[in-house]
Amino acid sequence: MDITMEATRLQDVSSRSRNKRVFDVIGAAAGLVVFAPVIVVIAGAILLDDGGPILFRQARIGKDRHLFDILKFRSMRDGAVTRVGRRLRATGLDELPQFLNILNGEMSAVGPRPLTEYDVRRLGWDAPRYDFRWRVRPGLTGLAQVNATTSTNRVSMMLDRRYIAEQCVSLDLALVAASFAVNVFGKARVRRFLRGR
């Protein structure tokens, strides 16, 4: 009986994983199409602002603690945030290139925040008891990202644990919708709205 129940549980996990990957691929492809005009405008604005590279790459820890290069629109130059970068960060539009990370299978639309090795050491999350966090792909958005908990590592870890335990399509859709609202209205306004609920 226990073997049958475990086999059923593993089959459910595998099925959820496949469904999530389909959701990710369709969502990322649709995102690239919908945001294509915005992506072109942002790339042009970065070039006009300072003529530097359009994209920024940084090593992050992915599923099973494998490293990958996350893609973002560059928002800094010589250690300072650029004029274009300020607007990109306020709306989260600097993260649009991560649709490519999703299509490559390095990220998911929704999941725990993708961290650097330095972040993991700083937060003290390099111990084996935190391995659950790296059993799923990191997300373009997630509970911690939407709730802006970067400075409170205990709350962020609690939200990551909750998401991993409860992940489902309806929760993913709600978090994607909240992230889209951030792109349109800005992080500060959406987070004020969410805190007021």
pLDDT tops 60 at residue 10: no
User: Is residue 146 a contact partner of residue 178, using CB atoms and an 8 Å limit?
Assistant: yes
Q: Of all residues in the chain, what percent carry a pLDDT higher than 90? A: 57
Dump the DSSP string for 119-165.
Answer: HHHHHT--SGGGGGGGSS--EEE-HHHHTT-TT-HHHHHHHHHHHHH
The strand pair at 139-141 and 67-73 is best described as unpaired
Tally the domains of the chain: 1
Q: What is the pLDDT of residues 29-75, one digit of tens each?
A: 999 999 999 999 999 999 999 888 999 999 999 999 999 999 999 99
pLDDT at 169 over 90: no
Per-residue pLDDT reduced to its tens digit, 128-149: 999 999 999 999 998 888 876 5
The secondary structure element, H or E, covering residue 188 is: helix 187-196
- Please tell me the predicted confidence (pLDDT) of residue 14: 59
Which residues constitute the domain of residue 91? 2-196
DSSP character for 57? Answer: E
Give the separation between CA 141 and CA 147, rounded to whole angstroms: 10
With residue 71 as reference, give the H or E element that holds it: strand 67-73
